[in-house]
Structure 1
Amino acid sequence: MPCRARNEAPSCMTDILESIRRLFVPIHKEGYPFIAIAAVVALVLGQFWSPLGWIGAIITIWVCYFFRDPPRVTPVRDGLVVSPADGRVSLITTAVPPAELELPAEPMTRVSVFMNVFDCHVNRSPVSGRILQVLYTPGLFLNADLDKASEDNERNALVIETGDTRIGVVQIAGLVARRILCWSKPGDMLGVGERFGLIRFGSRLDIYLPLSAQVLVGLGQTSIAGETVLADLRANEPARPFRNS
Structure 2
Amino acid sequence: MSLLITFDLDNTLWDVMPVITRAEYAMESWFEERFPGFYRNFGGDYQLTVRQHILNKQPELSADLTNLRLKMYQQVLKSFGLPSEEANLVAQSALAHFCEWRQKVDLFPHVNEVLSELVQDYRLAVITNGNADVFHPYVGLGQYFEFAVRAEHLGVAKPEPQLFLHAAKQADVTPEQVIHIGDHPIDDVQGAANAGARSIWFNRHGARRWAEDWGTSSHAEVHSLLELPSAIQSLAL
Q: Same fold (TM over 0.5)?
A: no
**TM-score, reference length from structure 1:** 0.24
Q: Which has the higher helix share?
A: 2
* Higher strand content, 1 or 2: 1
Q: TM-score, normalised by structure 2?
A: 0.25
Bigger radius of gyration: 1
